[in-house]
């Protein structure tokens, strides 16, 4: 760890609701924005950029609604160095106004068509106007990393003299590298005394690295988004930045890291931007192990093949042992013993061979596959009566029909019939199954359909994974035929 940063407090400025919503294809309702703001408050971020109020009446109303929600965090609104923008932020009652103007020659000449002197005056006037109205002010020199350094420092000195509270150094097009970022922030820090914030974009995958380098050089606040959302390739990801600060640098933030995965899943659901399984910290595979060497190690001691300074529990995640062609005996044996199956060494060797055969064919090995293989080799089925016998299931969906599912099943010897609706046919079916199971709560962890053959009578494979409240998960697969593919992307299944 870098000793100079140990126990140093770094402020977390989240811009999911502003820059994050600028992710192509993302548009949040006022209710969804409030829900995310409340979750960010629960997470413990210091400041949220609730939006750009001048962009629309609806945006202004959403920002004001968040301001009026009584959250513990500070609420910031974005404004150009234009009085009407600033007035709209002030009318919303924000705690801080974040005002910005392009300072690089390429943006200044090509977009706002102003001279350096004009931009300097616009910045000073905007800061003074905000401070005269009693709000905190953050000033951003947009495209700072492509701005002439002497001019950049001059404009930061100017806004400091105008009593700006904090300056932001944005890597607007993501061209910074850690060494250059460190040098730039160090130079700015040696010339101004007010706090420095950084806003890094991820065009070259360096947003988090640049943010951490900026903190090393003297920045005391970083701007982040949940799941790294934002323009183009996005912004610095909150989870990676915060856990890097905590675990690698020993720095402190107000973030309650146990809610990181929970927050990630909420934003993923509301924005419909799916996270890859390999996403650091929050991805499904972040703490998953398949390799025999790795699984053996983590079953004995978790930090043999995990960072150690960061555990899944710290971020609200869980460790998973995944079965596949790289699986080792220890992982397979543990999975079987958890299901009440105890093979001999010879039987375990045969089970391993069949598991690897499935993996060699490019197939995923589910829990149901493993149990079926083990029971056939051991020569005995799992003892006890079948708790659930499915008798009938039907799902209705369409343009004017709310997705509805009906399920009839024998549960612990008693027939039960339930019907429920959902946001889609799969969700409706899961809601109905949950109803059938009464108080036994399960959630869908994984669902995918993979085509096996083509044509109008195509064969597909469905993989499903569910998890209960205690984090116990099970996966299974089945095959089906797709009878037709509707032009509006409705699947008719048999």
Check which CATH number belongs to the domain holding 27 and give it.
Answer: 3.20.20.70
Residue 139 lies in a domain: yes
Among 271, 299, 319, the domain boundary falls at 271
**What per-residue confidence (pLDDT) applies to 487?**
41
Residue 173 lies in a domain: yes
Residue 339: how many other CB atoms lie within 10 Å: 14
Full-model pTM:
0.78
Q: Are residues 24 and 81 in the same domain?
A: yes
Q: Are residues 239 and 309 in the same domain?
A: no
CB 462 within 8 A of CB 481: no
Residue 276 lies in a domain: no
Domain count of the chain?
3
Beta bridge partners of 448: 463
Residue 489 lies in a domain: yes
Residue 383 lies in a domain: no
Radius of gyration of the chain, Cα coordinates, nearest whole angstrom = 27
DSSP conformation letters of 76-132: EEEEESSHHHHHHHHHHT-SEEEEEEE-SHHHIIIII---HHHHHHHHHHHHHHHHH
Q: Are residues 122 and 261 in the same domain?
A: yes
Q: Is the dihedral of CA 454, 458, 463, 466 positive or negative?
A: positive
Dihedral in degrees, nearest 10, Cα atoms 293, 355, 386, 394: 110
pLDDT tens per residue, the chain (494 residues)? 677 899 999 999 999 999 999 999 999 999 999 999 999 999 999 999 999 999 999 999 999 999 999 999 999 999 999 999 999 999 999 999 999 999 999 999 999 999 999 999 999 999 999 999 999 999 999 999 999 999 999 999 999 999 999 999 999 999 999 999 999 999 999 999 999 999 999 999 999 999 999 999 999 999 999 999 999 999 999 999 999 999 999 999 999 999 999 999 999 999 999 999 899 999 988 887 655 444 545 555 666 656 778 888 999 987 776 666 666 677 777 777 777 788 888 888 888 888 888 777 777 777 777 778 888 888 754 455 567 788 888 888 877 778 899 988 888 788 889 898 888 887 888 788 878 877 667 777 677 776 655 555 566 667 777 777 766 667 776 766 555 444 433 344 43
Q: Residue 227: which of 390, 469, 14, 80 has the closest Cα? A: 14
Q: Where are the alpha helices (DSSP H) in 108-220?
A: 116-132, 149-161, 178-189, 207-217
**What per-residue confidence (pLDDT) applies to 296?**
47
Residue 54 lies in a domain: yes
Residue 185 lies in a domain: yes
CB 147 within 8 A of CB 169: no
Q: Are residues 48 and 156 in the same domain?
A: yes
CB 102 within 8 A of CB 142: yes
Q: Are residues 445 and 489 in the same domain?
A: yes
Distance set, CA 104 to CA 73, 195, 201 (Å): 32, 22, 16
Q: Are residues 223 and 130 in the same domain?
A: yes
Classify residue 395 by its DSSP letter: E
Q: Are residues 343 and 415 in the same domain?
A: no
- List CB contacts of 159: < 8 A, sequence separation 6 or more: 123, 124, 127, 139, 167
Q: Are residues 38 and 179 in the same domain?
A: yes
Distance set, CA 222 to CA 238, 352, 360 (Å): 9, 48, 45
CATH code for the domain of 464: 3.30.160.270
Among 317, 346, 378, the domain boundary falls at 378
Q: Residue 146: which of 200, 104, 184 has the closest Cα? A: 104
**CA–CA distance, 334 with 27 (Å, rounded to integer):** 45
Q: Are residues 109 and 237 in the same domain?
A: yes
Q: Are residues 244 and 302 in the same domain?
A: no
Q: Which residue has the tokens 């699947």?
A: 491
Q: What are residue 206's phi and psi, to 5 degrees?
A: -115, 10
Among 378, 411, 433, the domain boundary falls at 378
Length of the chain: 494
**CA–CA distance, 68 with 70 (Å, rounded to integer):** 6
Helix (H, G, I), strand (E, B) or coil at 271: helix
Q: Which domain holds residue 422?
A: 388-493
Q: Are residues 238 and 103 in the same domain?
A: yes
Residue 467 lies in a domain: yes
Q: Are residues 191 and 82 in the same domain?
A: yes
């Amino acid at each position: 760890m870098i000793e100079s940063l140990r126990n140093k407090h770094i402020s977390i400025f989240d811009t999911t609701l502003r820059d994050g919503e600028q992710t192509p294809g993302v548009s949040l309702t006022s209710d969804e924005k409030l829900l995310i703001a409340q979750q960010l408050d629960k997470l413990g971020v210091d400041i949220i950029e609730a939006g750009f109020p001048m962009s629309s009446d609806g945006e202004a109303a959403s920002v004001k609604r968040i301001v009026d929600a009584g959250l513990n965090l500070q609420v910031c609104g974005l404004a150009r160095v234009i009085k009407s923008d600033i007035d709209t932020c002030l009318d919303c009652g924000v705690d801080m106004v974040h005002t910005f103007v392009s300072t690089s020659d390429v943006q200044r000449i090509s977009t706002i068509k102003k001279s350096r002197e004009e931009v300097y005056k616009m910045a000073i006037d905007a800061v003074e106007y905000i401070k005269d109205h009693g709000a905190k002010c953050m000033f951003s020199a947009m495209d700072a990393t492509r701005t002439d350094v002497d001019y950049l420092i001059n404009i930061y000195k100017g806004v400091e003299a105008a009593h700006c509270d904090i300056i932001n150094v944005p890597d607007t097009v993501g061209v910074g590298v850690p060494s250059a970022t460190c040098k730039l922030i160090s130079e700015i820090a040696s010339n101004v005394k007010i706090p420095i914030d950084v806003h890094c974009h991820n065009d070259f995958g360096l947003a988090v690295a640049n943010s951490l380098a900026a903190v090393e050089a003297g920045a005391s606040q970083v701007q982040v988004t949940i799941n790294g959302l934002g323009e183009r390739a996005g912004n610095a990801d909150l989870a990676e930045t915060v856990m890097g600060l905590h675990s690698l640098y020993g720095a402190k933030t107000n973030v309650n890291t146990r809610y990181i995965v929970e927050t990630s899943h909420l934003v993923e659901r509301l924005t419909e931007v799916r996270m890859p399984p390999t996403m650091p910290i929050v991805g499904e595979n972040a703490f998953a192990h398949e390799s025999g060497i790795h699984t053996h190690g983590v079953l004995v001691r978790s930090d043999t093949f995990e960072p150690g300074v960061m555990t899944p529990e710290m971020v609200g995640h869980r460790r998973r042992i995944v079965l596949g062609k790289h699986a080792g005996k220890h992982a397979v044996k543990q999975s079987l013993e958890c299901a009440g199956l105890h093979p001999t060494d010879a039987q375990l060797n045969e089970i391993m061979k069949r598991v690897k055969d499935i993996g060699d064919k490019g197939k995923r090995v589910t829990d149901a596959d493993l149990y079926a293989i083990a029971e056939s080799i051991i020569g005995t089925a799992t003892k006890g009566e079948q708790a659930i016998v499915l008798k009938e299931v039907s799902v209705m969906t369409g343009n004017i029909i709310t997705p509805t599912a009906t399920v009839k099943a024998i549960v612990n010897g008693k027939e039960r019939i339930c019907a429920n609706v959902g946001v889609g046919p799969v969700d409706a079916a899961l809601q109905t199954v949950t109803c059938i199971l009464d108080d036994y709560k399960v959630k869908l962890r994984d669902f995918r359909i993979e085509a096996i053959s083509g044509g109008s009578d195509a064969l597909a494979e469905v993989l499903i994974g569910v998890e209960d409240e205690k984090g116990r998960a099970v996966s299974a697969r089945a095959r089906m035929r797709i009878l037709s593919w509707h032009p509006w992307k409705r699947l008719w299944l048999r």
